[in-house]
Structure 1
């Protein structure tokens, strides 16, 4: 409905309403009560409130970076003083490299890549849809391959639980490392994205994607440090607060809290610096910050509705329903390919790869053990399917934030990214089928 009508909020609300109507056995009164209860539940959940706060704060930070001249100064430095961005390919490769290097948290990866890439792409007449695709297609894949982050902590916990229950033997770290090597979707997505950049491949809706600004001469105005310092603070702050919230262990830190506190500190330091240096008076800092926050209202509403429909599909036990068919119809050699598709459908439906991991690992591992299938390959299929479905899903938080950071219309981002994600997904599916037959 969202893809055809281009009305995301109405489409999400329709899905939530239908889901609650089914859950409450078609009672109008109970459905209305359930909608109220769902709204209260979401708006009183700490991590959700922190996520909304972080998006508002990010809007303020990005607006201040632009108004202070930091964005323009940064673009001028790269294109004129250093002359490292001389082509469309170079601009997108910088975004790609940022996605590879900053793997600690997929949300921060997208935000930094989008913030840096947006002025460069605008200056060169590259569509923001292309930017959103590159940022989105490096963040989650890299985070799911280099799992020295929250992704790794979650998977280690899920695998350790299965080892503790006697379903599988060995060490959880060893199993995770082997599964990461078999994370075919992430590896395919990173390869396809690089090839798309290098050979300037535009497929489907990407051919007619909207270009916000045409290529023009960039004048020196502002200082690049007004953009570089806040971005360094954002990246460094996430590490620091993950360390603090994790009690000295980064892997145990709270992602939502760390990002929220990082953005809060970054905004406060930026505002104080601009006032003390005379770049902006306090009144202007506040005014511009509020302007940036206002610009994020639509994204926060979309994210709220996305969380709501994710909760509805969870209440309907969508994952268990889909998984109940697998064991009855498959031989061991096809299990990994089937798990990949199942995880993808589940992730697409719920908009969360982490939620998919949490549902699928306890299902897939005992299934693999019972069918004497390749355990590491099935684990890799769970990870790959979760990331693949998340990439295609219009209700995924990463997809939504990629649109926000790149300044791209959300529906346009989903439509333009889908062909590339499907290519990577097809490659991954064929590899899981091939390895399943070989092992």
Structure 2
């Protein structure tokens, strides 16, 4: 293996700088990948370019990468399902009742309550960070817009609750990955070790605590304070130069007309996804456990040996399947409508799937650089 020295850290650094300067994440990542392969090709631009293409193709040689890209796209189908079925509308109607109640108690307090609910939802959706962020955005966007809370605040709450919750509640791909690392270090009971170490993960607790303090204190600073001021003075929920990475369609899909809005059409599919995650972790790791003392020991070891990417993919597919049965039994959707929604949802989240592919590709290239 060649030693590229300091050159090995240039591609990711250049990609980060380009992303920050140009706001073009796809271009920045692709350039970083290309630059890495140019280095490994001895500065031969033709060979480096062709190697870049092959590097992108090789992403799919990894089953884990392929599963991750698949569930990143399939979650779009789930989001369209819960909107088209008026499940989200039913949920929003419940929130509106809460808003009216708290507004009568104290003017402006409803803003605090809704933001806290978004935070709690993000924490509870611990299945996968991007899924959590997208779902929180989809569920709370209508209410945040109604209360004139800037989209930046919603994005901050969604992001700062999703990643930390994945660390604090380890029944997800991240937990499976960490337990896998513990197993390679000779730890016999990785699940117990991981659980006991959670209290030392200061970042996720501090991140969630800061969000809580910002919400309750109503004190914003820096760019967030500017965003709040802009929305209050102009009514603009997004800044003029904002470039959302996810299309408006995926988070504000028009619901089907002529049906009743029922919150359980949203709650049941999402609950299925969350509940199935630890079950799938145990299932995918069950046969890998050789020595155990009891059922609980077998279960904890199975979760530690489970496949994170497989479990997330199976959980998303299970939630989509349950949603299909739920909506079909109520006569909300026909089979053709459901198939069309699945394809539409996948197509709308292709940018996210592409982003995942590029992220895996630059990771592979940097690993080969050393």
TM-score of the superposition, structure 1-length normalised? 0.62
Aligned twin of 1:241 = 280
**Contact kept in structure 1, 2:176 and 2:303, CA below 8 Å:** no
Query: Which of 1 and 2 has higher RCO (CA within 8 Å, sep 6+)?
Result: 2
Say what the alpha-carbon RMSD is for the aligned residues: 3.1
Aligned twin of 1:358 = none
Is 1:208 equivalent to 2:227 in the alignment?
Answer: yes
In the alignment, the residues of structure 2 paired with residue 171 and residue 272 of structure 1 have an alpha-carbon distance, to the nearest angstrom, of: 39
1:178–1:279 CA distance, 2 compared to 1 (3 A): closer
Is 1:195 equivalent to 2:213 in the alignment?
Answer: yes
Deviation by residue 1:289-310 (Cα, 9 ceiling, x = unmatched):
3222221111111221121112
TM-score of the superposition, structure 2-length normalised? 0.72
Tell me by how many angstroms 1:191 deviates: 1.7
Aligned twin of 1:51 = 68
Q: 1:260 aligns with which of 313, 319, 339?
A: 313
Deviation by residue 1:197-229 (Cα, 9 ceiling, x = unmatched):
21234333333386269xxxxxx9511111111
In the alignment, the residues of structure 2 paired with residue 115 and residue 127 of structure 1 have an alpha-carbon distance, to the nearest angstrom, of: 14
Tell me by how many angstroms 1:23 deviates: 2.2
Tell me by how many angstroms 1:175 deviates: 7.1
Tell me by how many angstroms 1:176 deviates: 5.6
**Contact kept in structure 2, 1:72 and 1:221, CA below 8 Å:** no
In the alignment, the residues of structure 2 paired with residue 178 and residue 195 of structure 1 have an alpha-carbon distance, to the nearest angstrom, of: 27
- Gaps of at least 5 residues in structure 2 are 1-17, 104-109, 229-235, 239-247, 249-258, 287-298
- Which aligned pairs between 1:170-189 and structure 2 lie closer than 5 A? 180-189=198-207
The SS at the match of 1:125 is coil
Deviation by residue 1:344-380 (Cα, 9 ceiling, x = unmatched):
xxxxxxxxxxxxxxxxxxxxxxxxxxxxxxxxxxxxx
- Which aligned pairs between 1:201-350 and structure 2 lie closer than 5 A? 201-206=219-224, 207-208=226-227, 211=237, 222-247=261-286, 248=299, 249-317=302-370
Is 1:18 equivalent to 2:35 in the alignment?
Answer: yes
Aligned twin of 1:434 = none
Q: 1:61 aligns with which of 78, 86, 95?
A: 78
In the alignment, the residues of structure 1 paired with residue 101 and residue 329 of structure 2 have an alpha-carbon distance, to the nearest angstrom, of: 32
In the alignment, the residues of structure 1 paired with residue 189 and residue 319 of structure 2 have an alpha-carbon distance, to the nearest angstrom, of: 40
Is 1:141 equivalent to 2:180 in the alignment?
Answer: no
- Gaps of at least 5 residues in structure 1 are 165-169, 214-219, 318-439
State the number of aligned residues. Answer: 306
**Contact kept in structure 2, 1:56 and 1:292, CA below 8 Å:** yes
| Range that drifts further, 288-297 or 11-20 | 288-297
